[in-house]
Amino acid sequence: MNPPDHTTAKKLTRARVQLLLKQPFFGTLSLRLKLIPGSLPTMATDGSRIVYNSAFVDELKPAELEGTLAHEVLHGALPRPRSKRSAKWLRRNTF
């Protein structure tokens, strides 16, 4: 368990710093997304913000959180699908 002073916000900030140091591309992109607490089960992005569940973030190990942030960053960095079928899949499976 985390000590009482180890907040979710601090954990997210540390994960971003580690991304900047280890993976500067992902770290730089992550800084462009605003972090917003929400009621969804895990984490999601709309390309301008990352909405996260605090309980989900608190359960992740630091490396897992860094990977999850990089994953969310890639949703905004990768090109959108061109076909209707892949666009429909994307709508069903993302934020």
Reported pTM: 0.76
Q: Report the C-alpha gap between 93 and 16 in whole angstroms.
A: 25
Enclosing domain of residue 51? 8-93
pLDDT tens digit sequence for 18-63: 999 999 999 999 999 999 999 999 999 988 999 999 999 999 999 9
Closest by CA position to 11, among listed 53, 74, 41, 45: 53
**Is 42 part of a structural domain of the chain?**
yes
Has residue 51 been placed in a domain? Answer: yes
pLDDT in tens, 10-20: 999 999 999 99
| DSSP conformational letter for 4 | T
CATH number at residue 21: 3.30.2010
* List of long-range contacts for 31-37, beta carbons under 8 Å, 24+ apart: 33/72, 33/73, 33/76, 35/9, 37/8
Residue at 63: amino acid letter: A
Which one-letter DSSP state was computed for residue 36? E
